[in-house]
Structure 1
Amino acid sequence: MPVVLRDAWATFVPDMDGPDGPLPPLLLALTVLTGLVDAFSYLLLGHVFVANMTGNVVFMGFALAGAPGFSVLASSVALVSFVAGAWSGGIAVHQADTHRGRQLRHALLVETACVTAALTVSTVSGGPYTGGVRFALIALLALGLGAQNAAVRALAVPDLTTTVLTRTITGTVADSRLARGPGSRAGRRGLSAVAMLAGAVAGATAVLDGRRELPLLLALVILLGAVAATALLGRGDAPWTRPPVKT
């Protein structure tokens, strides 16, 4: 089996006794979720991301320069809410500082509450999302994704950040044998990109077909599955559950 395919398979179906145990496929699922919610937010909430904060900083610059279709307020709400979510996620993670499965579950419970609230708001309002409804959705989703990012940072699983692909793509090329590097882990990094692409395609397709709430519903299904998985995983004390040593 080629190295790339072997690496991808080991990420999708990991060794449960490995250093990260079952975390890689769970983080791939959360990467799909990122594509879903950012498709929803960008296409329906006015050119704003709820997961990709780098994009929001750039969009804020566009708005300040007077580019049409961008909003300083919308990007600011997303940024502030994301920070609040990262803070709440950090608290949730630190409450289970000795077990990575519980760290992820605690943060995902915060995110699940936020996505559930967002789905409720979007369903009740019916769209189009304007005024207070728009900003409520931005705030709720960015809050949830901030919590997710806090957990992912604490887990420190290599090449599976769930929201950022710039370093992933850079590492694929810069670490490759062609660049005289140690090896690019292209299988895992490629899966991460494909997962986000799949979520974005699914989310955009649903929105363009007029099924506005479907991306959030799919995101909620992913979260509920991940929470259930982490509830089971949190019962054990396998080597992967121990947090990485901080340097």
Structure 2
Amino acid sequence: MPERLPVAPRWAVGALLVMTFATGLVDAVSYLRLGHVFVANMTGNVVFLGFSLAKTDRMSVLAPIVAMAAFVVGAFFGGHLSKFLGGRPRCWLVWAFACQAAGLTLTALLLGTGVLRPEGRLVLVIIALLGGCSGLQNATVRVLAPRDLMTTVLTQTLTGLTAESALGTGTGTKPHRKIGSLLAMLAGAAVGALLLRTTLAGVVGLAAVLVAGVACVFALAPAPDDATV
């Protein structure tokens, strides 16, 4: 793990796997209930935007644009947090993930009270809120995490798992982390899809609770020198 991590590696790996699970939850919400758009996977949105511009499907042009714009705003905010608090990594990570949890909590409350509904133009507001939270997460994790624990983009993780395996170059290390990341995303998406049968706000609320828990980990977990790894 990078030297700047303020907590012991096992705590950090666990926290990042929880973030990956939460990403699966949120993308299940956005894809299954908000019009086949991603709020964390921007590669998918670029492809969807191409489909919609080519008019090969009845996909919304606005949804992927709003998702990407909100993602950029969230990433911009995350970059500034890193710039101003990066010298105090524990404080920086706590603030970043606490802000993300607050954004998810607000979204869940607005959904639960009926202020926001997954229909009409209100869908774009939900997409913007979730996209902003995902942008903040990505801007933080890209500085924090190794390539096999990026929490949102698993292409490099899957590539490394196979290309660096014993059947590939044989240079791969800690394949369990890569496998854990893939399984966490899979489980998050599956759990999200199941819970969406009964509650939309609950799925977003669960993601908020998990991200808040990650903020607590980076606030309270032992430092690397204080733990047995």
Question: Scaled by the length of structure 1, what TM-score is found?
Answer: 0.82
**CA offset at residue 75 of structure 1?**
0.2
Aligned mates of 2:94, 2:83 — CA distance in 1: 12
Residues 127 and 94 of structure 1: is their aligned pair in 2 closer, same or farther, counting only changes over 3 Å? Answer: closer
2:27 is aligned to: 38
Three-state SS of the structure 1 residue aligned to 2:149 is: coil
Identity of aligned residues (%): 41
Task: Tell me, yes or no, if structure 1 residue 228 matches structure 2 residue 216.
Answer: yes
Residues 214 and 88 of structure 1: is their aligned pair in 2 closer, same or farther, counting only changes over 3 Å? Answer: same
Three-state SS of the structure 1 residue aligned to 2:85 is: coil
Matches within 5 A, 1:79-228: 79-125=68-114, 129-207=118-196, 209-228=197-216
Aligned length: 220
CA RMSD of aligned residues (A): 2.0
Partner AA of 1:221 in structure 2 = V
Aligned mates of 2:126, 2:193 — CA distance in 1: 17
Three-state SS of the structure 2 residue aligned to 1:80 is: helix
Which has the larger displacement, 90-99 or 50-59? 90-99
Aligned mates of 1:127, 1:224 — CA distance in 2: 22
**CA offset at residue 93 of structure 1?**
1.9
The one-character-per-residue Cα deviations of 1:169-194 (angstroms, maximum 9, x if unpaired) are 01111111211331253211000000
1:26 is aligned to: 15
1:60 to 37, 45, 49: 49
**CA offset at residue 166 of structure 1?**
0.8
Aligned mates of 2:18, 2:57 — CA distance in 1: 34
Q: Which runs of 5+ in 1 are unaligned?
A: 1-15, 241-247
Q: Which runs of 5+ in 2 are unaligned?
A: 1-6
Aligned mates of 2:58, 2:180 — CA distance in 1: 32
Aligned mates of 1:108, 1:46 — CA distance in 2: 27
Aligned mates of 1:158, 1:151 — CA distance in 2: 13
Partner AA of 2:153 in structure 1 = V
Partner AA of 1:214 in structure 2 = G
**CA offset at residue 22 of structure 1?**
2.2
Three-state SS of the structure 2 residue aligned to 1:130 is: coil
Which has the larger displacement, 166-175 or 94-103? 94-103
Aligned mates of 1:91, 1:21 — CA distance in 2: 27
Aligned mates of 1:197, 1:166 — CA distance in 2: 14
Residues 229 and 124 of structure 1: is their aligned pair in 2 closer, same or farther, counting only changes over 3 Å? Answer: same
Aligned mates of 1:120, 1:41 — CA distance in 2: 16
1:75 is aligned to: 64
1:244 is aligned to: none
Question: Scaled by the length of structure 2, what TM-score is found?
Answer: 0.89
**CA offset at residue 21 of structure 1?**
5.4
Aligned mates of 2:94, 2:32 — CA distance in 1: 29
Following TM superposition, where does structure 1 have runs of at least 4 consecutive aligned residues deviating by more than 6 angstroms?
Answer: none
Greater relative contact order, per chain length (Cα 8 Å cut-off, separation 6+):
2
